[in-house]
Structures are given as C-alpha cells and as structure tokens.
Amino acid sequence: MWKVFGVEGTVPAFSEIWKMRLIELSKRKKERERFLKMMEESEVRYLLDAIREVNVFMVYLPKKYGREDLLFLKDFVVKVTKAAKMPVLEFNGVAQANAVIITSAEDENDYAWRRQNRTNWLEAEEKRLKSKEDGETQDF
C-alpha cells in the first residue's frame, strides 16, 4: 500500500495528502504562520518521473512570491521532512525516491502557441497558393 508521510492513500490523492501532512507536521516550527499562508495560496501537484523512477511534488506559488520566499519554503519543507523521521513516500514499507520542486513561474501554454503559429503558417500557405493560381511566380 502507498503511504505519504505515514498516511495511506491513492496516487490521485498524493498531492493533497502531502500538503495536509506537511501542515500537520509543522505545528511546532518557527515561522509556521508564513508557511501556512504560502501553502494556502499554493497549488501542489504530484507526478511520477518514470524514467528516473522519482516521485515529484510540484508546488506552484503565485507570482507575487520572490526568490527569498522560495528559499524560505524550501528550507522549511526540508526541516519538516527531516523532523518527521519517516519516509515522505513509501510503497509496501519501502521508501521511494522523491523530490520537491517549488516555483512561482507559470507554465507556458504550448498548445496556444502552436495553434497561433499553425494559423499563421496556414494563412501564409494559402496566400502562397493563391498567388500561384493567379499566375504569379515566387522564387525560393
């Protein structure tokens, strides 16, 4: 059975369990209020890097957070994780490799970019074909 910080769960729930357990395990830490505010505003996603066999927890913070905030959150998460004295993620009692990525950068929408450029390419191609039909020649 899968466990995140000792709590049984399923893969789709890993991110929520991880976030909940970090908040629970941070009860006696200094600067907890700052941590709670950041976690409240963050979005946590779980993904598996199947090539490297690493379980990844991605923490997305709003853009308003700067480098110092990211470093604070990193240090805080490391501190809480070490103090837990249990694996972050385990399967049938065996600890699994894991990583945490913290970012305030937004993902680029590759689909929108490709769609826009495909439209531009199609318009240019239609213009080229139309000019060819009208008898104009184009040198390449």
Secondary structure letter of residue 86 according to DSSP:
S
Does 105 have pLDDT greater than 90?
no
Query: What's the whole-number mean pLDDT along residues 11-34?
Result: 91
pLDDT tens digits for 114-137? 777 766 767 778 888 888 777 655
pLDDT tens digits for 47-72? 999 999 999 999 999 999 989 999 99
Calculate the CA dihedral of residues 48, 52, 55, 61 and round it to 10 degrees. -80
What number of helices (H) and strands (E) belong to the chain?
4, 7
Report the predicted TM-score, pTM, of the whole model to 2 decimal places.
0.72
Percent of residues in the chain assigned helix, strand, coil, to nearest 5: 50, 20, 30
Average pLDDT, the chain: 87
116 vs 87, more confident:
87
